[in-house]
Homo-oligomer: A and B are copies of this chain.
Amino acid sequence: MTLYQKLAKRLREHIQHDFYKPGDKLPSVRQLAQEHGVSISTVQEAYRQLEQELLVEAKPKSGYFVCQQKKDNLPSVSRPPQRPLEVSQWEEVLNMLMNRSNQKGVQLQHAMPDMKAPTLKPLLKTLSDLAKQKPELGLSYSDIRGREELRTQLCRLAVASGCQLHPDDLVVTSGCQEAISVCLRAVTEPGDIIAIESPSFYGSMQAIKAANLKAMEIPTHPETGMSIEALELALDQWPIKAIFVTPTCNNPMGYTMPEEKKERLYKLAQSYDIAIIEDDIYGDISFQFPRPKTIKSFDNDGRVLLCSSFSKTIAPGMRVGWIAPGRYRDKVTHIKYVSSSMCPVFPQLAIAKFIRLGGYTKHIRQIRQHYEKQRDHLLNAIKAYLPSDTRVSFPDGSFILWVELNPNIDSMKLLEKCRAEGVSFAPGPLFSATGKFRNCFRLNFSEQSLEKREWAIKVLAKIITDFNVEKNK
């Protein structure tokens, strides 16, 4: 046992025996180093280990704390069908998308960030200044790979997730949806099979459907993501062409795959010589600090296509996403060009400046803390009001969580009744290729006031109780 492992073991025991209680501040790195006569980096390594175990969490400028929530009621490990299947559910997705405009009531269904943050003001100012002072920039064609100013800043940001990129390694897209859609088309042929997490974001699954691919859903653990063992079995059995994963702050489950598992996933893809499309859209709003590494950070042969955007960190209306396509750059550039030609210039320039002047980092630091508080509040409300057999994810980033109800309850029917009362959520079947997860749904905790959200959870609780009463009649 190494020094840091020993230290980690001791701290773990202290936490498990309630010497340090949930929410408590832990000793500082310097303090522990002195106490135990070890180096600063040993203590840091020990804390890193405990962070990965989700026992402690770092808060910027405050130090380490014992994690607030105990995760004893996580959703089950998913058990999807063991064969590639076509994606269905478009009608249901469309129905939900069209419902966006109807803004009455408490909308917990869309993964929309908090866009009222005062830290966004400098960005908005730049945007309106650009439109006023340099309208000609907004009129003409630009580089099809995106503005170099932005690509340069994206490379700066990528360092935090362990990536060394060059501006030429990037292609700017119209949001992450275009990034994913382009990457899918770049690495597959129609009819191919693609491995995905179960559950998975409906936008990517619909892109899989539109690209005429089949989805092989892989069992997924609510704390650590896609099962590597199950993936390996599937790779042995089926001619899988690529893996699509959202390993950091997963949508809808909120988990972050531990770093060593990310590396194993990469090596597995390498041994089967297939591509990985990695969706990192929530990566920057992880509650861990520094933010988790991407799978892309392990990529030494260009097989990982990293997709992301500012839709969750800044605002979806910006429509600024990007791809780090590795060895698939030429194909990706081609498909991006035919898909929608180049992207609008103003949002690119405004975001580039926002990052360059430090506004983005400041915004992320604040919004991350805000979301973490919102998460705890929503988890408490769920614990207080929903039935005791409710299971719920413990997102360590993002602003969405996943609720698993008693298998008796159909979330589609539940949604119908909730909508009538002015409450809405994203029903589970949208996140499955074949309409599974009927007793699950996704909630956001970004938008509404605490009071409204608590009210919505009470409404939900009441409707679930009525459901059960009806069932038992």
Contact = CB atoms under 8 A, between A and B. Distances in A.
A97 B132 contact: no
A209 B142 CA distance: 23
A206 B334 contact: yes
A341 B175 contact: yes
Contact of A340 (B185, B339, B346): B339
Given A97-B144, A132-B132, A135-B128, A206 B340 contact: no
A94 B207 CA distance: 25
A139 interface: yes
A317 B138 contact: yes
A394 B348 CA distance: 39
Copies of this polypeptide in the complex: 2
B128 A141 contact: no
A345 B333 contact: no
B128 A124 contact: no
Interface string A230-248: 0000000000000000000
A142 B317 CA distance: 8
Nearest to A91: B330
A97 B130 CA distance: 25
A316 interface: yes
10 contacts: A110-B141, A127-B131, A139-B316, A139-B317, A175-B341, A177-B340, A206-B334, A207-B338, A209-B338, A319-B342
Interface of A: 90, 93-94, 97-98, 100-101, 110, 112, 115-116, 120, 124, 127-128, 130-132, 135-144, 173-175, 177-178, 181, 185, 189-190, 203, 206-207, 209-210, 212, 314-319, 333-335, 337-347
